[in-house]
Amino acid sequence: MSARAKFSVARAAASLASAGLVLTLLGGCAERGPHPIALIGATILDGNGGRPLHDGVVLVRGRTIEAVGAREDVPLPRGTVQVDVSGSWIIPGLIDAHAHTRIWALPRYVA
């Protein structure tokens, strides 16, 4: 192989490596997962006996609550879908853990 051909191969390899590096860096800057959703303006009860938080924000991404707080304290990531829920209340999920049962009803609890 001539010196000129070796130089062309080396130059092509360097270009591919540079392109790969740029694509890797750009991929690292991309947002991950679904766009977050912000429920804005509701009154939030924390379930621990604290005072109600008026004009609150609940920031959700996928199935995860990422932040809860006052509107001015929760920064919204770029691309956040904002849903105005003013006048609504947001409370923790409630679980009824008290029940009376009979043997015949037990399969219904499993179902």
**Reported confidence tier of residue 70, pLDDT bands at 50, 70, 90:** very high
Percent share of the chain, pLDDT over 90? 43
Contacts of 92-96 with CB under 8 Å at 24 or more apart are 92/45, 92/46, 92/47
How high is the mean pLDDT of the chain? 78
Lowest-confidence region among 18-22, 49-53, 66-70, 78-82 = 18-22
Domain boundaries of the chain, sorted by first residue? 1-30, 37-90
Eight-class DSSP state of 71? G
Q: What architecture does CATH give domain 37-90? A: Roll (2.30)
